[in-house]
């Protein structure tokens, strides 16, 4: 289905008027108090370039453009509270409290002024770490927070924001149990937003203690985070909670079913119980056996859609979202695949939610590690607008930034761009078995192609041999294109296939056939290489440095680029969320959802469609090894093409084997368990 563009629910004129009102308050809140100590942060110019701050007199804030680093990070207030979630996830007879670590500027509080909040709720603050360097929270001997992972606190606290890091229920210093995107995960984070807005209770200790009010907070909250953290931001926004002004999900999940399955086909060899077990604290393991049991029993490996998945699907609740959304995703993310982005973006568009998108060529990578300077500048302006009310014009700028080649970006006023339409392309047979033609013309009645599922072969193997007759796939290509062809959004492939056995999995792959330099997304860094040198983004203390390792693009020269994929279990042909045994020799029709993309196939290149069985490294094989016969007249691809069908020269006949094409290495098998490794981004972290 095509990613859609819609008119925002809140007109820009209304936003501007409200921003003017907020601007006055923002200007006041940004002024440093009289007699305040010198700020330990960069000047506006050096901050924009990412330089670390130097001691000196604070610059006067310019509320017309951006918040400035006028507050002391070294003297900021660092504290912990435990927020009552009002739920008893571990069934111990007491409502769960989640740990909330806070760092906020001291000067506004001393003057009775309130500040907005940047919040990251995560299960990874003790087990696995955050960011490219796997940072975990640290505490002093008295249990007071010292190190806040990532740069948000270093950069934004001197600019008048509080940074709030939440241990999800069942992790680190929190009560409760991890339920992997369910009620406990989402409500434990939502409770903190409620507390920041005066609607929930917090205490000074995990058990007992005095009630603590967030009297320093103005209630305006922005949630941010990568992967699991960004997923929680999606889920909390879908509750419609008041006070959540914006979310910035980076590689976030929109439906947990689609993380573990693709239309009945298992994408991993374990379910949410494995992830829960990995991230829970040691004491949570002892008290959460019942929750673990429910996760095992409620998520059978059959791939059937059941109630557990409905609770963890945020897409239907997109119409409740009140926050603006700045979505960031790697187009080659083979962990949290861009299907999550596509269906979430569509639903937000239908609901009229204000939104912005960055789509990179990387895998599961944070933008701080693939476009650092521009990311910090853009995020700064985004939070200034939505949390401080500064009219800096960011909401009127192009909606989309898309990476076309390593470190080369284009923009679009709306995304997908106007003129994008679903266009049907059809496969036809060629002169050689399994090497066919892709175009607008339908195959002759009775035309077929046949392949046998080989679980050892991947999309890399299929693509490298697309021009050669091989038993494990059927490939179809256009001729060389006479002009650039852009695909922008989500597509589908409808397949009619007759299996030889009672079970069968299907894969559909779109491939750009032609030379290019791309990010090496299947390597350990998923498109980046981490360097030894560091750059600094904000202010530091002895226990919390603002300096992080730099990265550079990991490039690969290739002859082809796989840019979209979709999978399914043919037994889910009825499209009712339930798999069925197949009758050998009977034809079945099923539609595979292709992951969202934005890719330009240049003139002179060819567009290819591959249909095969198990995609090794990404898809679990079926219980049998089927031979499948494709009914070509009843097989087609609906693709989001900008400007219509491709203009292609006649596809040449291929009667002899051709040398294999060069691409990136085959995707490696991935398991949805976090890793403490600093050299890989392949897990949900």
Report the alpha-carbon distance of residue 476 to residue 51 in Å, rounded. Answer: 51
Characterize 454-481 residue by residue with b for buried, 16 or more Cβ atoms within 10 angstroms of its Cβ, and e for exposed: bbebbbbbbbbbbbbbbebbbbbbbbbb
Q: Yes or no: say if 433 and 655 are a contact pair by the CB < 8 Å rule.
A: no
* Residue for token pair 């695909």: 487
Please classify residue 585 by burial: count the beta carbons closer than 10 Å to its beta carbon, then call 0-12 exposed, 13-18 middle and 19+ buried. Answer: exposed
C-alpha 678: how far from chain center: 19
Angle at 345 between CA 343 and CA 349, to 5 degrees: 115
306 Cβ contact list (under 8 Å, min separation 6): 298, 299, 300, 577
Angle at 118 between CA 113 and CA 119, to 5 degrees: 125
Which tokens belong to 72? 């002391």
Q: Where are the beta strands (DSSP E) in 570-682?
A: 588-593, 597-601, 606-612, 627-631, 636-642
Q: In residues, how long is the chain?
A: 685
Report the alpha-carbon distance of residue 185 to residue 167 in Å, rounded. Answer: 10
C-alpha 95: how far from chain center: 31
Catalytic residue among 72, 122, 184, 227: 227
Question: What is residue 320's DSSP assignment?
Answer: G
C-alpha 368: how far from chain center: 14
Report the alpha-carbon distance of residue 165 to residue 232 in Å, rounded. Answer: 13
Instruction: Check if 364 is active-site.
Output: yes
Pairing relation of β-strands 162-167 and 115-122?
Answer: parallel
Catalytic residue among 194, 258, 333, 544: 333
Catalytic residue among 40, 364, 385, 505: 364
Count of C-beta atoms within a 10 Å radius of residue 279: 25
* Residue 294, SS3 per DSSP: helix
Which tokens belong to 494? 């409808």
Q: Yes or no: say if 174 and 97 are a contact pair by the CB < 8 Å rule.
A: yes
Q: What share of the chain is helix, strand, coil (3-state, %, to 5)?
A: 20, 30, 45
Within the chain, how many helices (H) and strands (E) appear? Answer: 14, 33
* Residue for token pair 């390593």: 406
Angle at 230 between CA 224 and CA 231, to 5 degrees: 145
Instruction: Check if 227 is active-site.
Output: yes
Report the alpha-carbon distance of residue 585 to residue 478 in Å, rounded. Answer: 30
Alpha helices in 73-222 (DSSP H): 106-110, 152-156, 183-196
Report the alpha-carbon distance of residue 94 to residue 150 in Å, rounded. Answer: 33
Which tokens belong to 478? 């256009």
119 Cβ contact list (under 8 Å, min separation 6): 163, 164, 165, 166, 189, 192, 193, 196, 221, 222, 223, 224
User: What is the signed CA dihedral for 432, 433, 437, 440, rounded to 10 degrees?
Assistant: 130
Report the alpha-carbon distance of residue 176 to residue 244 in Å, rounded. Answer: 23
DSSP lists the bridge partners of residue 508 as 566, 611
Q: Yes or no: say if 163 and 383 are a contact pair by the CB < 8 Å rule.
A: no
- Kindly list the catalytic residues: 227, 333, 364
């Amino acid at each position: 289905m095509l990613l859609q563009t819609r008119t925002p629910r809140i007109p820009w004129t209304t936003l501007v008027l409200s921003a003017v009102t907020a601007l006055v308050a923002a200007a006041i809140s940004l002024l440093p108090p009289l007699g305040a100590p010198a700020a330990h942060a960069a000047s506006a110019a050096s901050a924009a370039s990412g330089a670390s701050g130097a001691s000196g007199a604070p610059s006067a804030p310019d509320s017309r453009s951006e918040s400035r680093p006028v507050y002391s990070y070294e003297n900021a207030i660092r504290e912990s509270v435990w927020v009552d979630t009002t739920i008893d996830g571990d069934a111990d007879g007491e409502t769960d409290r989640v740990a909330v670590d806070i760092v906020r500027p001291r000067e506004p509080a001393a003057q009775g002024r309130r500040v907005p909040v940047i919040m990251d709720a995560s299960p990874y603050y003790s087990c696995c770490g955050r960011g490219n360097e796997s940072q975990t929270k640290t505490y002093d001997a008295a249990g007071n927070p010292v190190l806040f992972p990532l740069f948000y606190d270093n950069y934004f606290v001197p600019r008048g924001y509080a940074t709030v890091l939440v241990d999800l229920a069942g992790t680190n210093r929190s009560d409760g149990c991890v339920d992997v995107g369910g009620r406990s995960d989402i409500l434990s984070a939502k409770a903190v937003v409620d507390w920041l807005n005066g609607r929930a209770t917090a205490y000074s200790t995990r058990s007992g203690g005095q009630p603590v009010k967030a009297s320093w907070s103005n209630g305006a909250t922005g949630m941010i985070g990568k992967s699991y953290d960004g997923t929680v931001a999606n889920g909390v926004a879908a509750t419609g909670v008041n006070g959540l002004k914006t979310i910035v999900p980076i590689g976030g999940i929109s439906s947990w079913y689609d993380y573990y399955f693709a239309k009945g086909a298992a994408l991993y060899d374990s379910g949410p119980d494995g992830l829960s077990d990995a991230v829970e604290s040691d004491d949570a393991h002892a008290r959460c056996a019942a929750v673990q049991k429910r996760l095992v029993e409620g998520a059978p490996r059959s791939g059937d859609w059941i109630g557990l998945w409905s609770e963890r699907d945020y897409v239907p609740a997109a119409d409740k979202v009140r926050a603006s959304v700045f979505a960031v995703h790697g187009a080659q993310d083979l962990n949290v695949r861009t299907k999550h982005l596509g269906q979430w973006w569509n639903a937000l568009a239908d609901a009229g939610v204000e939104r912005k998108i960055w789509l990179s060529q990387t895998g599961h990578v944070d933008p701080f590690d693939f476009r650092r300077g521009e990311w910090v500048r853009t995020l700064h302006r985004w939070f200034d607008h939505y949390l401080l009310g500064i009219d800096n014009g960011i909401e009127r700028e192009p909606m989309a930034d898309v990476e076309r080649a390593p470190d080369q970006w284009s923009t679009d006023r709306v995304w997908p761009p106007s003129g994008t339409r679903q266009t049907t392309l059809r496969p036809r047979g060629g002169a050689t078995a399994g090497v066919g033609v892709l175009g607008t013309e339908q195959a002759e009645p009775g035309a077929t192609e046949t392949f046998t599922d080989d679980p050892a072969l991947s999309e890399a193997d299929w693509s490298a041999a697309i021009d050669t007759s091989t038993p494990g796939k059927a490939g179809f290509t256009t001729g060389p294109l006479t002009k650039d062809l852009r695909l922008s959004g989500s597509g589908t492939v409808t397949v009619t296939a007759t299996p030889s056995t009672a079970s069968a999995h299907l894969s559909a792959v779109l491939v750009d056939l032609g030379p290019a330099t791309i990010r090496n997304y299947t390597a350990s860094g998923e498109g980046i290489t981490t360097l030894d040198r560091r750059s600094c983004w904000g202010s530091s203390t002895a226990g919390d440095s603002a300096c992080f390792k730099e990265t550079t693009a990991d490039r690969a020269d290739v002859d082809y680029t796989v840019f979209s994929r979709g999978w399914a279990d043919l037994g889910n042909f009825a499209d009712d969320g339930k798999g069925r045994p197949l009758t050998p020799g009977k034809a079945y029709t099923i539609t595979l959802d292709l992951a969202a993309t934005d890719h330009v196939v240049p003139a002179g290149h060819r567009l290819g469609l591959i249909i095969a069985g198990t995609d090794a490294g990404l898809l679990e094989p079926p219980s049998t090894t089927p031979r499948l016969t494709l009914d070509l007249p009843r097989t087609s691809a609906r693709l989001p093409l900008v400007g219509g069908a491709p203009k292609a020269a006649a596809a040449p006949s291929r009667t002899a084997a051709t040398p294999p094409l060069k691409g990136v290495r085959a995707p490696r098998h991935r398991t949805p368990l976090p890793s403490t490794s600093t050299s890989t981004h392949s897990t949900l972290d």
